[in-house]
Chain A
Amino acid sequence: MVDIYVVPILKIVVLLSAVLLAVTYLTLLERKVIAWVQVRLGPMRVGPQGVLQPIADAVKLLLKEDITPSRADKWVFTLAPIVSMVPALIAFAVIPFGATVSMFGHPVSLYIADVNVGLLYIVSVTSIGVYGIILAGYSSNSKFPLLAGLRASAQLISYEIAVTMMLVSLVVVAGTLSMVGIVNAQLSQGVWYVFLQPVAFVILFIGGLAETNRAPFDLPEAEQELTGGFHTEYSGMRFALFFLAEYANMIVVSAVATTLFLGGWLRPFPNVHVLSFLGFVPGWIWFLLKTFVFIYVFIWIRATLPRYRYDQLMRLGWKVLIPLGIANLVVTAILKVLL
């Protein structure tokens, strides 16, 4: 009874609140990091060093009037933010934050579900998120969001194939689709997959940037060109949902990359026994640290790089990433058979 119902529900509640809190504070982190890059201070007014800024923002957005344009397709318009937010949250279900730990005498696994097709689940769920943007662009019945919706769909088909292709080559190496299984495979093979699959790692990272609509691939948003893109007509909390979804997606992509390539909750160099003293740090802290590094790089890139044009992104996707992904898959498969 307890193991089947209470523990999973508790885990879901804890995880959801943690993720939502993290997402809120990620906005502050992003503003602060970008401010430091740009020799500014960032938010400083609400609370010491601006630490209460996300809460003030949330309150402001909740109190704002929620406008639906009269010519908009109301159902789809309402649905779009939900469609982008929900997949970002349910993707966390299969992400392993750590190995099994003992809590109050109970063995508790630090993941909600170890699905045997976990990776497939992540790929499918996260691709739904983009439909939120496409639907938002379509349903606003306004020209700039429509262009943004078109860009989002162009972007979707350009990077999704390459990313999936390289996930396949990773599965070839690991021999499993389960997220926990992939981490355990890295433990038993004694190496992080970033060293075995560097090409796949880079492609996943680029694809992750595109997936989360982050600079330099933030084309559907493109404030300077499309005046805000798909969320031009949105206001209040629905507007905020798009942003929360973007940040939640950032965490998902970082967490997935950590799990697949940086050994998840494993300490650095899991096969080197000299470094076993690092084992005193709990696994979930290693996991969060690695995820944080990814998130930081995401923000860093946004502060540094200009934006791609959408035909250039498609060229990058079709002419560079997909051939690389296929080549990587073939080489991996051949090596796997030979060795």
Chain B
Amino acid sequence: MFDTNELVINMGPQHPSTHGVLRVILRLDGERVIGSDVVIGYLHRGVEKLCEHRDWAQIVLITDRMDYVAAASNNLGYVETVEKLMSIEVPRRARYIRTILAELQRIASHCLWLGTHAMDIGAMTVFLYAFRERELVLDLFEEYCGARLTYNAMRVGGLPLDIPPGWDRKVRDFCDILGPKVDEYEQLLTHNRIWLERTRGVGVIPGEDAVAIGLSGPPLRGSGIPRDVRKDEPYAAYAEFDFDIPIGAAGDTYDRYLVRIEEFRQSVRIIRQALDGLPEGPILGKVPRLIKPPAGETYHAIEAPKGELGYFIASDGKSNTPYRFRVRPPSFCNLQALSRLIKGHLVADVVALIGSLDIVLGEVDR
């Protein structure tokens, strides 16, 4: 007499918790997810093709628009790839400042992740606390390069600007502020019973599966794989600093949360070391006025806040533009795990898992 139907629900692209324009088509049995389709592409702007029609210096500006909450990391990945292609030696001071910027960016990006992730699970105060600290990072960036979101902060061969006088002092002050604030977030969440129940055992992904799917960054490390480009293939000035790679054990949402929380502390540690050892010297290496890499192709990856951000660039050696420009965006690759993670969980967990993968749709769609 009675038959049961699957309930197909369209979550997004204008859903408050899909972090932008992600659309997830959920097939539900009650509130349990039995299948899902992840639809992307609502923010596709053709970044890669666009880059193939801009000259090498202009592309820095476009990379800002991919992961727009971690623009400096995107810049860094691109300029380092071109430097690798052209074999340009970057001055040590520039590499140090780049490291500081990239780590500040990681803190800002993780603040945004923590705020929205906690908000999705219902803890709204953490959101405002995290944004308060993110605001301080944005202020630092504003003082450095004048912009608060899309920085255009790097150049092929170095940096456009040296740090303003007194800026290092302010970064140090920020490092002193952030430590206790991270403890404050942890006080609200880490041992909170409701938080534990909502995140522990939710969206478990074992280490080998994480590798097979191609996860990178905190979701991979949360599953216990100690892979971090900063340690494995050091770039910028990371080889000169001492820091730990936090890894999780169970590979659930809680472990991914703990990994990112610890990364706040490690970032502060790196910034402090970089400020202590900040060398004097030029900030721009010997770069030809017209950047025109020799014919060839290369791939170079950095550890962006969301995972491994790689650029594959091919140059034909003749034109002023790249012959082929390809990005390996961490958000896009990490998003591949979503369908698998949410299967069998409840609707409430879907938003928690989207948050725990930490995606930015600007980077997924490009």
* Distance between Cα atoms of A309 and B198 in the complex (Å): 7
A310-B348 in contact (CB<8A): yes
Q: In the complex, which range does the number of interface residues on chain A fall in?
A: 20 to 34
Partner of A306, one of B17, B129, B195, B346: B195
What 0/1 readout, one digit per residue, does chain A (203-229) give for beta carbons within 8 Å of chain B? 000000000000110110011111100
Determine the distance from Cα of A307 to Cα of B31 in the docked complex, in whole angstroms: 16
Interface residues of B, count at CB 8 A: 31
Which residues of the partner chain B approach A222 to less than 8 Å between Cβ atoms? 122, 348
How far, in angstroms, from A218 to B348 measured CA to CA in the complex? 12
- Interface pick from B72-80, B113-121, B157-165, B207-215: B113-121
Closest B residue to A40 using CB positions: B128
Residues from chain A with a CB closer than 8 A to the CB of B7 are 143, 146-147
Kindly state the separation between the CA atoms of A230 and B33 in the bound complex, as whole angstroms.
Answer: 20
Specify the chain B residue showing the minimal Cβ separation from A309: B348
- Which of A144, A151, A224, A311 has the most CB atoms of chain B within a 10 A radius of its CB? A224
Chain B's closest residue to A303 (CB) is B125
Which residue of chain A has the shortest Cβ distance to B118 in the bound complex? A306
Structural contact, A224 and B123, CB atoms closer than 8 A: no
A224→B124 CA distance, assembly (Å): 11
Over the window 128-144 of chain A, the binary record of Cβ atoms lying under 8 Å from chain B Cβ atoms (1 yes, 0 no) is 00000000000000011
Answer yes or no: A305 CB below 8 A from chain B CBs.
yes
Could you tell me the distance between the alpha carbons of A308 and B352 in the complex, rounded to whole angstroms?
Answer: 12
CB distance from A16 to the nearest CB of B (A): 32
Given A306-B123, A310-B346, verify A39-B197 contact (CB < 8 Å): no
A37 CB within 8 Å of chain B: yes
> A146 to B28, alpha carbons, bound, how many Å?
13
| A206 nearest CB across to chain B (Å) | 12
Binding site secondary structure of chain A:
helix
Residues on A with C-beta less than 8 A from B129 are: 38-39
Q: Provide the bound-state CA to CA distance between A311 and B198, in Å.
A: 11
Judge whether B122 and A305 touch: CB under 8 Å.
yes
Q: Which of B9, B124, B125, B349 touches A309 (beta carbons < 8 Å)?
A: B349
Whole-angstrom distance between the Cβ of A8 and the nearest chain B Cβ:
43
Whether B179 sits at the interface, judged by CB under 8 Å, is no
Which residues, 1 to 59 on B, are CB-close (under 8 Å) to A? 7, 9, 15-17, 30-31
Q: Does B177 sit at the interface, judged by CB under 8 A?
A: no
Contacts of A306 in B (CB 8 A): 118, 121-123, 189, 192, 194-195, 198
- Asked if A304 is at the interface of the complex by the 8 Å CB criterion, the answer is yes
Interface residues of B (CB under 8 A from A): 7, 9, 15-17, 30-31, 118-125, 128-129, 132, 188-189, 192, 194-195, 197-198, 346-351
A–B complex contacts, Cβ < 8 Å, 13 sampled: A34-B125, A146-B7, A147-B31, A222-B122, A224-B122, A224-B351, A225-B120, A225-B347, A304-B123, A306-B121, A307-B123, A307-B348, A309-B198
8 closest residue pairs by CB, A with B: A307-B122, A306-B123, A38-B128, A306-B122, A224-B17, A306-B121, A309-B348, A224-B120
